[in-house]
Structure 1
Amino acid sequence: MIVANAAVSMLWAANAHAVEMSDTFQVHGFMSQALIVTDHNDFFGPSSDGGGSLEYTELGLNASFRPLNNVLVAGQLLARQAGDIQELNDIELDYGVIDYQFYSSSNMTSGVQLGRFKNPLGLYNQTRDIAITRPSILLPQSIYFDRTRKPALSADGVSSYLEKPLNNGVLRFQIGAGKPRMDSQSEVSAFGRDDLGSYSGKTSYIGQLRYEHDGGGMILAMTYANVNARLDSKPSGPGSGRFSFQPWIFSFQYNRESWSVTSEYALRHVKSSGFSEPYNYEATGESWYIQFTRRLSADWQWLVRYDSLVTNKADRAGSDYEERTGRPAYTRYAKDWTTGLQWQPYSRFLISSEFHNIEGTGWVPFQDASEISSQEKYWNMLLFQVSYFF
């Protein structure tokens, strides 16, 4: 509540000051609160308890202005509660860039962004924090992992972009280099625990080629990233070494007035090296989903989606992993059927609900590998969310 009050106070102050500063000065924000109920496997707090979990809250405030016609300064503060992964009082700079557009004509636009830029990862990553831009409360977890959200979301460095209008479409290219933001959950995802030493991002790269046909009637995109990190081990740890992650993501969306079909497919190569056993490993995972959304009316939308994750293509069912480690095979994959409804009674207010029927726990966040033993193979999740935008 303190963060919400602060966000509202900042909003009114900024609005009162906007006219005085510049006609280009803008402030926007959002607030979202969710209730999550599961029959097994806690997700963002004690969701499997009788009353469910209210530990999924998002509060954001962003501002932008143009000191020059070809320069944009923009940033966003975010306060987010996501179970034990992130605390609401841990306010962070979600992104903050100086965008210099050094060339602009009717045939092409190009520019560069300096600062903390959003990664062009797939179709949804650059706007994933804002509920109104998501087709569902949770994005497909096989590609948009919430347990590795921080390094996926943004990086500190430089990003350049080019936009080229074509006869009946627009071609966009973006490439960036910088240091990803690692956190304890990223370390847990890489090594199964977060007490091995100091885990930090190293220079990484990302690029996306995107084509939008006929005003967004069809969207095609291809994304590649080379994400690097280093663990400086404690004396009692596995020794210092490196972790790398290279995903290829192929995205497709087809839009009509009352319905849309979206699908993304990813190959994810991961490797850790320089450590003592069992912390050295290498694998190629596979992720994909297919999603159908139907706009029932001006303010109602329905969704159905199937989402699949395999941690290692060479061991799809996880049986080799279970034999080698003694941990359940179903922690290495996830199959998720989702259906949901969104109701937007007016432009600034959104009410969402969705139901997940899941086999496997391949993308479930956890703080320590010991939690895996209490997870169930088959489980269901029900979510409700109320969101406000300004």
Structure 2
Amino acid sequence: MFTTVNRYSLPLCSLLLLTSSVVTASEWQLSGFIGQGFVAGEDTQFIVGEDSSTFDITEAAFAVSWKPIEHVRFASALTFRQWGTLSEADVMFDYLFAEYSHQVGEGMLGIRAGRFKNETGFYSSTRDVPFTRPSIMLPQSIYSDYFRDAQLHIEGGDLFGMHQVLDGVVDWHISVGQVNVTEDLDRNVMGSTDFGEFSAEDYYSGDIEFQNDYLRLGVSYYDAEISFDPFIPGYYYPGDIRLKNWVFSGQFRYERLELTAEYLKGDRVTNGLVAPIEADDLYDPSVGYYIDLRAYLPNEVELFVRYDKHIDNTDDPDGTNYEAVYGSPAYFGYTKDWTFGARWFPSNDWLLAVEYHDVEGASWVTPIVSPDPLTQAKHWSLFALQLSYRFQW
């Protein structure tokens, strides 16, 4: 049996679906979805490639949750995903874990082990489900697609809890393990799988959120490290990238309006890769934030406008030093993205989404190490359309 909530509380819905097997008597839960999209770009090859458009925007998943005894649950989701040039078509386990939980007062404590999604911000753990994310493309300042492999799928352990506090619920996670790295990261960062490969190193994170009927607040921190092993000596060098980021999240809902904002501040610590390993690490302090205003209209229609900004190095906010050192245009050091979109639920199981991105800058355009100004303009745009269907038993 699935928990039913108002569609204006989608984040709470996600939380309840993830924890419902703990608090209900249902032994089996089966669900899934499939989504097909289209993206067209102007003055860019980001996502779309050389053809300026792509139908290779496909997502599908089948999830199973089994509760053999009162406090024990096993959960798994098999997914298919292709996302233009950012992610080649592949089938993998989105999560696969065993979980033990126990009721404590009016709340719950639990622990899980295996592969699970990280909990950074409001949407990381459900970012690949069209019905539980706010748009086709998430704000890249917080949920970058080019670095998703370096922070999304965790193989390790997760200690978590959910507690009634005042008029709301506090939900928290403490996770340790390693990220699951695929060849998508090699292509998105280095430009090709021919130059070398990334491997997973240590990962740990903490996340806490409070939510009631009109307010949602959260704080997350994660430390994720990956190492690089070059195939061609002297072309690139052995090295590592470490992401140490804080994310602060807030959301306010009033009647049919919803205002959401998230802010990321952290360091990208690198050594090696484009130069031999040195004694001192290179710290690039970065910042990103977005503000999203959304209206829930009659006939199950959502309209939204969002401003999303990312600065790759806060010591060089306009990219001037980046251009002087690396030779690439300054606009590869920052990104400003205005997004206008709509979502329509013709029924509970169907979703049609459309959005337009008007972008200045290219700090999250791939490949990160060797961006190409011949294929990426300073001012560019994306149009995206996606139709999705979900099912559950």
- Contact (CA 8 Å) 1:71, 1:99: kept in 2 or not? yes
Partner of residue 30, structure 1? 33
Taking the TM superposition and a 5 Å limit, the aligned residue runs for 1:188-203 are 194-203=193-202
- SS of 2:47's partner is coil
Partner of residue 263, structure 2? 265
Distance 2:232 2:37 in 1: 42
Deviation at 1:84, TM superposition (A): 2.9
- SS of 1:141's partner is coil
- Contact (CA 8 Å) 2:356, 2:381: kept in 1 or not? yes
Distance 2:42 2:188 in 1: 24
- Contact (CA 8 Å) 1:36, 1:43: kept in 2 or not? no
Distance 1:266 1:329 in 2: 22
**Residues 223, 84 of structure 1: CA spacing in aligned structure 2 closer, same or farther, 3 A cutoff?**
same
Deviation at 1:184, TM superposition (A): 3.4
Distance 2:364 2:51 in 1: 17
Distance 1:353 1:191 in 2: 31
CA displacement, residues 322-353 of structure 1 (integer Å, 9 cap, x when unaligned)? 01111111111110011111111101111111
CA displacement, residues 71-93 of structure 1 (integer Å, 9 cap, x when unaligned)? 111111111111233232x2011
Partner of residue 281, structure 1? 282
Partner of residue 333, structure 2? 332
| TM-score, L = length of structure 1 | 0.87
Q: Which amino acid aligns with 1:322?
A: E
CA displacement, residues 143-179 of structure 1 (integer Å, 9 cap, x when unaligned)? 1111122232221000010222112122222110011
Distance 1:187 1:272 in 2: 15
Partner of residue 292, structure 1? 293
CA displacement, residues 225-273 of structure 1 (integer Å, 9 cap, x when unaligned)? 1101122344614443332110100000111231110000001301112
- Contact (CA 8 Å) 2:45, 2:375: kept in 1 or not? no
Partner of residue 143, structure 1? 142
**Residues 220, 32 of structure 1: CA spacing in aligned structure 2 closer, same or farther, 3 A cutoff?**
same
- Contact (CA 8 Å) 2:305, 2:340: kept in 1 or not? yes
Amino-acid identity (%): 30
Distance 1:317 1:193 in 2: 28
**Residues 265, 288 of structure 1: CA spacing in aligned structure 2 closer, same or farther, 3 A cutoff?**
same
Partner of residue 9, structure 1? none
Deviation at 1:48, TM superposition (A): 5.6
Taking the TM superposition and a 5 Å limit, the aligned residue runs for 1:299-338 are 299-338=300-339
1:206 paired to 2:209: no
Deviation at 1:356, TM superposition (A): 0.9
Distance 1:192 1:67 in 2: 46
- SS of 2:377's partner is coil
- Contact (CA 8 Å) 1:231, 1:242: kept in 2 or not? yes
- Contact (CA 8 Å) 1:244, 1:270: kept in 2 or not? yes
Which stretch has the larger CA shift, 130-139 or 22-31?
Answer: 22-31
Distance 1:234 1:383 in 2: 36
Name which of 240, 251, 254 aligns with 2:238: 240
- Contact (CA 8 Å) 1:185, 1:367: kept in 2 or not? no
**Residues 172, 260 of structure 1: CA spacing in aligned structure 2 closer, same or farther, 3 A cutoff?**
same
Deviation at 1:281, TM superposition (A): 3.2
Taking the TM superposition and a 5 Å limit, the aligned residue runs for 1:33-182 are 33-46=36-49, 49=52, 52-88=53-89, 90-101=90-101, 103-182=102-181
Unpaired segments ≥5 residues, structure 2 = 1-24
Distance 2:206 2:187 in 1: 26
Distance 1:268 1:197 in 2: 26
Partner of residue 12, structure 2? none
Distance 2:50 2:359 in 1: 15
| TM-score, L = length of structure 2 | 0.87
- SS of 1:137's partner is coil
